[in-house]
Amino acid sequence: MLIRRPTALPSSEITDSAIYASRRDFIRTLLLGAGTAGFGLSHGADADDRTGQSLGSLINSPFSLHDDKPTPFKSMTSYGNFYEFGPDKESPAKHAHRLRTRPWTVTVDGEVKAAKTFAIEDILNWAPLEERIYRMRCVEGWSAVVPWVGFPFSELLKRVEVTGNAKFVEFWSLADPEQMPYIRLPLLDWPYREALRLDEARHPLSIIAVGMYGEVMPKQNGAPLRLVIPWKYGFKGAKSIVRIRFVEKQPETTWIKSSPDEYGFYSNVNPDVPHKRWSQSHERRLGEFLKRKTLPFNGYAEQVAGLYAGMDLRKNF
Amino acid sequence: MSFNPDARQLGLIKIAVFIVCLLPLGRLLWAAYSDDFGPNPVEFVQRWTGSWTFNLLLITLCVTPLRTITQWHWLLRLRRMLGLFCFFYACLHFLSFIGFDHAFVLEDIAKDIYKRPFVSAGFAAFILLIPLAATSSNWAIRKLGGRKWQELHRSIYLTGILATIHYFWLVKATALLWPLAYSVALAVLLGWRIRERRRKAIPVPRFQSAKPLKFFKQKPD
């Protein structure tokens, strides 16, 4: 495994500071407005909204990229898929404000000695927060570079006792029609479920992210906590997780249920295995005009290819 | 209500339609000028030009039904311009595909058209538009003869169907609403034509002279 010491990344590289500033002003104005109005504005809103708050000082991770320029914050928060908030790329940014991130708990059950429910406040104290600048590759053919903030998934395994039967781990996203308007439509089989093999989840690159760009996770990106598996297509990273279940058999995931011939269980980024309707050999970085070559395992082959030794990756796509 | 513009009024109407048809292009140029393409500029350009090609195809197909219903026969005089604008946006759409997706590398373009069914359908639809655009002049109509010209231009129905397939194959199962809406619009416009043909094909009794309106492959002697 190649572990490079990251050079300190100038904060100016991460996001245009003007975008930051204008956003903060905007939020401040909103808060002031809500404060002076005093009443009537809290209906349906998150009473304990942490959007935009800084996560303080972060540990630099040796797994961070340092040659790739991160995608602008504005792009990552205005463009993306979060079907619970609508089918278009712009929908999550429009509707995710309805998500209430406090109180929030995550239930861990299945093949564990004792099921447990953790409050988000405790989860945030599990480990010192790290910044992980990762490539993100969407199965649709676009990609980004995102400075996530979080800690390794393995921190969870220190807090629950997994039985010998556990081979897979399943992630359940919130599915509340009150907060997520599109849950009422049968776009997908709700709640959104994703899953990993246990050894994939244990890999040091697999993280539970609670923020990005140094801030609390924006709601449209899966607040308050989500999964980030950088060598897999983006949809494997379940957002707004409320349940983590350890299981013996490979679970059926939401996208496999929706289109079994288009989405595989592993969904490792692989330029040689085309999607049923398009090639995966190239990708377009958000903001760039010409496409660039997609790398095997999204550029993380050195670290993760060993997990799949001896497997036919065309069959196990 | 009957409205029959004179030559000057028709000229003004044509100018107005021309300007309106340029607005989608204006939106693109404005976005380029103000750097307002959003996070994925290429996707924006490709979707925008694709949707406007389809919109103009449907608008062009509206001319005949509208003319029959309103008896505004002058509407026919706008059809060529609308059809050519459809072709214009199709060209931009195609250019954005070969340019942004493949940097004009012929081999990659050919492979993509061959390998991805939705690209094949879109490409076929585009190719079918070329002879129609090429024969849009008065000279071409004279040269071909009205009947042949009309037969050739009926291929626009097939183009519409191919465009629908192109759209359906391109979206995910979660985003079928828009292609569904476009296919319903196309089905209504084509269905109207089928109904009209049936209606006109019914022989009118008693009047010997009233022959059903039919288009023959060869001129009947």
Report yes or no: B47 at the A interface, CB cutoff 8 Å. no
Residue position matching structure tokens 């050195």: A302
Q: What does the pLDDT read at residue A278?
A: 85
CA atoms within 13 A on the CB side of A80: 28
Q: Is there a contact between A132 and A228 (Cβ–Cβ < 8 Å)? A: yes
Predicted pLDDT of residue A41: 41
Which residue from A234, A240, A120, A115 is spatially nearest to A166, judged by alpha carbons? A115
**Chain B residues with beta carbon closer than 8 angstroms to that of A291:** 100-101
Backbone φ and ψ for B74, nearest 5 degrees, come out as -65, -20
Q: Determine the residue of chain B that is closest to A79 in CA distance.
A: B39
Strand positions, DSSP E, A199-273: 207-212, 215-216, 226-228, 241-247
Task: For residue range B17-39, list pLDDT tens digits in order.
Answer: 999 999 999 999 999 898 888 89
Q: Name the band, by pLDDT with cuts 50, 70 and 90, for residue A4.
A: low
pTM exceeds 0.90 for this model: no
Q: How far is CA A204 from CA A188, A208, A235, in A?
A: 30, 11, 19
pLDDT, residue B172, reads 80
Confidence band (pLDDT; 50, 70, 90) for A276?
confident
Provide mean pLDDT across the span B60-72. 96
Task: Give the number of A-B residue pairs with CB atoms closer than 8 Å.
Answer: 51
Q: How confident is the model at residue A168 (pLDDT cuts 50, 70, 90)?
A: very high
Chain A contact set for B44 (CB, 8 A): none
The chain-wide mean pLDDT, for chain A, equals 88
- Mean pLDDT on A78-96: 94
Does residue B72 carry a pLDDT above 80?
yes
Calpha distance A216→B82 (Å, rounded): 51
Residue B35: what pLDDT?
83
Q: Search chain B and give the residue with CA nearest A77.
A: B39
Mutate: best of A182, A258, A275, A278, partner B, most B CBs <10 A: A278
Check if B43 contacts A (Cβ < 8 Å). Answer: yes
| A221 close to A241: Cβ distance less than 8 angstroms | no
Question: What is the distance between the alpha carbons of residues B198 and A271, in angstroms, rounded to a whole number?
Answer: 52
The answer to whether A33 contacts chain B (CB < 8 Å) is no
Q: Is it the case that residue B5 has pLDDT exceeding 60?
A: yes
* Nearest CA-CA distance, residue A156 and chain B, Å: 33
The answer to whether the CB of B58 falls within 8 A of the CB of B182 is yes
Rounded average pLDDT over A283-311:
95
Residue B83 and residue A152: Cα distance in Å, rounded? 58
> What pLDDT shows up at residue A17?
45
pLDDT mean across residues, chain B: 91
Lowest mean pLDDT among A109-118, A245-254, B209-218: B209-218
pLDDT score of A32: 41
SS3 A292: strand
- When pLDDT is cut at 50, 70 and 90, the band that residue B217 belongs to is low
The predicted pLDDT at position A49 comes to 82
Q: Is the pLDDT of residue A3 over 90?
A: no
Using a CB–CB cutoff of 8 Å, tell me whether A284 touches chain B. Answer: yes
Q: Which H helix or E strand runs over A144?
A: strand A142-152
pLDDT band at A197 (very low <50, low <70, confident <90, very high): very high
The reported pLDDT for the residue numbered A114 is: 96
Query: For position B176, what pLDDT does the model report?
Result: 86
- Which of B38, B118, B173 has its CB closest to that of A259? B173
Cβ distance B65 to B192 under 8 Å?
Answer: yes
pLDDT (0 to 100) of residue B219: 57
Provide the residue type at A139 as one letter: V
pLDDT, tens only, B83-111? 999 999 999 999 999 999 999 999 999 99
Residue with tokens 């299981």: A247
Q: CATH for A11-308, among 3.90.420.10, 1.10.8.190, 3.30.200.20, 3.30.460.10?
A: 3.90.420.10
| Digit-coded pLDDT (tens) for A13-50 | 454 444 444 544 444 444 444 433 333 344 455 566 88
How far from A4 is each of A1, A60, A128, A207, B114, CA to CA, in Å? 10, 11, 20, 18, 42
Name the phi and psi angles at B115, rounded to 5: -85, -35
